[in-house]
Amino acid sequence: MTHMLNCHLDTIQIDPVDMTEDFLTLASRFADMNGTVALVSGGDMDCARYHILGVDPWLCLSGRKQEMHLSVLENQSVFSADPFDVLGDILKRFKISSNQLAGMLPLPFFAGLLGYLAYDLKDCIERLPRTSVDDLNLPHICLYSHRYVFVEDKPAKKRWLCMTKPPGDDTSHSENALKRLNRRLTGSLPGSRSFSGDVGGFSSSFTQPDYEAAIRTIRDYIAAGDVYQVNMSQRFVMTFDGDAFSLFRALYQKNPAPFFAYVHAGDHQVVSTSPERFVLRNHSRVETRPIKGTRPRGRNPEEDCRLRAELENSPKDDAELSMIVDLLRNDIGKVCQANSVRVTAHKRLEAYQNVYHLVSDVEGILEPDMDSVDVIRATFPGGSITGCPKIRAMEVIDELEPVRRHIYTGSIGYISFHDTMDLSIAIRTATIVRGKILFSVGGGIVYDSDPADEYAETLHKGRTLMDVFRGLPSSEKPSPFVWLNGQLMDSDRAHVSITGPGIQYGWGIFETIRVANGHPQFLADHLTRFDASWRHLFDSHPPDVTWNAVISQVIEKNQLAETVAAVKILAARRNSDLSPTGCDLAVLARPYRHRLELIQSDGLRLGVYPFPRQSPLADHKTCNYLVYQMAAGWAKRQGFDEALILNPDHTVSECATANLILICGQEAIVPESPHVLAGVMEKAVLKRLISMGYRVQKQAIAVTDMISADQVILTNSLMGPVSAIRLDDRALSADIRFTEQLRKDVLNTVFNLKPPT
């Protein structure tokens, strides 16, 4: 890393720019670019004076735990280090000297880092247990330094463009960057973009009874003297489709707050509507503004006044805020001069569109040998959203919340190269990732907290984010329906026991069936194979189920009767004597798009999986399928469409998701393997080839035989026969028209229209 940072910023130029369009419109011009960060201040409070927009990053620091990714211009490095140490090194290397600052405008930020610090960075500060699940796998730190930063002073109605020349940047790169900027500024505005959510709405990581039970557990800890207060949250998730910045704009127009933020982090975007400052640094001055105490706004003036007075006069909320103020006084006291820390305001009431909050201001004077990273280390994460004492509160949070928080209750904002910093607490904050939107809401729990009231408070706090989706078109259908143990149900309600060997050991079997326009294809062959595996692996009679009728119910319920669907019949062993089969039985359905359509190709590219395998389980379609999943994942990472599985003697076995047929002259050759399951589609394709005059042979096949074959065909029940067009780095002979016709001949023939006897 050191060689990437052994330089200084060359030049910083600040020019006034005309305010011909509002700041959100300006930001919209860059919102689709990776690394764009917008910090937008709503309202007229003193902490909401400036808008800041960073575009075209020249430096990016991201990482999880100790694995850091640093890119500077075209140079990239991955290394192991403490993220706060790396952050400190960057700030020191690019620190703007007093000579450079001379004559500069007194702006809070013009060069430095913009982005977020996830709550999970706490594990780099304290040694804490990690018993919740990190299901997002997103960066814990994500910060950018930009070539261009727009800063707007709202009250003065002035805007500046701050331009940084990165270290080592040559003239041509700088000129090209400026051209890119001008094209964005002078080009037409992006068209109106929409966003939508799932018709089923948000689902929570908790049920209400479970959330209230967690509150009671915290009260038990408090009664035992284990902790005084814990911030408990629940996470909501929903399908999301459309433009994240349009959501950001809609939220700002609905309920502007001082610390709105938009971060385009490439594969995910963060939209924050936070009202809470975490920590401000202005050279030697340090400030934090904890929020504790919330009431919803009233539906009429009388109710609004009553709720406001209730909050202002609440002993519980007063005690809660006072407790956190003491915690934060202690935190900033670690880095501030003795006797400089003081509470400058206590129990200020702040009014927002949907809630009232109680706020306090705590200030201190930084020790001369301390810097911004020292301030963060001393205070992160903010005490107002952990609890007291902080370390034990964070342990309880991890014990009771099922998923990691990521950005929620972390921080978003700027850390400058000239000793200023302003970070918000990431509450009222949503992440858009992999077609989902998720956000968390919580509240501080003390001994006299009422579980039902605390649950209701989380809904009040999340109302702004939830309400923005009301009345919008839905992005997709509700969660699919499944058939489980004789009952049709929403998949969210479908559960099987984790103690059964079906889950613990993969002791189960399945069949995947292509259903075209409501008609299962080759169903009798699938069921014959399913029943044979059942007898062999479960040593009992197969279940007496009319699978054709069950499949029809699932297809109809999921509205898939007029399309092609992939249906899976699944049986998983369980520890129960109540079921005569001893298994959980399920039928699932999903829409199916052909693989060639998805990858927009005439054939599949094969890669030889470097780990040969042989297992007697391969004689059956078992749920012990991990080796095939690993092979498929390997192929994707290597840029292939499919993995070729070898036997221990390095002869060909099959593919991760398909059987193989080689065409050599008038012979159709299938691999001979000690353990491999003959495919239902393979059987149908061979039957068709025989009718066309081909002779079927079964023999040992080497990889070189595939290269010399006239045609390599891959088959499975969903996609039918398709051509393999490459094997590793070698092109394969492929007659695409032949395979397409073969696929039509087989797939267009609908079998098993009547229930099998």
For the chain, list residues with pLDDT below 50. 2-3, 475-476, 577-580, 750-757
268: Cβ contacts below 8 Å, ≥ 6 apart: 138, 431, 432, 433, 434
User: Nearest-5° angle of CA 109, CA 111, CA 115?
Assistant: 80
What are the structural domain ranges in the chain?
2-126+140-467, 481-592, 601-747
Query: What is the pLDDT, as a whole number, of residue 309?
Result: 93
Provide the pLDDT for residue 297.
87
pTM given for the model: 0.76
How far is it, in rounded angstroms, from Cα 564 to Cα 513? 10
Q: Which residue has the tokens 């703007």?
A: 96
Question: Residue 421: which H helix or E strand, with range?
Answer: strand 420-425
| Residue 610, pLDDT score | 94
Q: Which fold has domain 481-592?
A: D-amino Acid Aminotransferase; Chain A, domain 1 (3.30.470)
CATH fold group of domain 2-126+140-467? Anthranilate synthase (3.60.120)
For 45-56, write each residue's pLDDT tens digit.
888 899 999 999
User: For the purposes of burial, counting CB atoms within 10 Å of the CB of 87, is it exposed (0-12), middle (13-18) or buried (19 or more)?
Assistant: buried
- Catalytic one among 276, 320, 454, 642? 276
CB 268 within 8 A of CB 286: no
**Which pLDDT does position 299 carry in this prediction?**
87
Residue 756: predicted pLDDT: 37
**Secondary structure of residue 342 in the 3-state scheme:** strand
Q: Which of 122, 292, 461, 621 is catalytic?
A: 292
276 a catalytic residue: yes
pLDDT value at position 106?
85
Burial class (CB in 10 A: 0-12, 13-18, 19+), 189: exposed
| Nearest Cα residue to 128 out of 438, 439, 331, 389 | 389
**For strand 203-204 and strand 141-153, is the pairing parallel, antiparallel, or unpaired?**
unpaired
Q: In whole angstroms, what is the distance from residue 32 CA to residue 191 CA? A: 12
Q: What is the distance between the alpha carbons of residues 69 and 64, in angstroms, rounded to a whole number?
A: 9
pLDDT (0 to 100) of residue 623? 81
Measured CA distances, 659 to 48, 372, 412, 568, 656 (Å): 63, 59, 51, 18, 8
Looking at domain 601-747, which CATH architecture does it have? Alpha-Beta Barrel (3.20)
Q: What share of the chain is helix, strand, coil (3-state, %, to 5)?
A: 30, 35, 35
Tell me the torsion sign for CA atoms 332, 335, 336, 338: positive
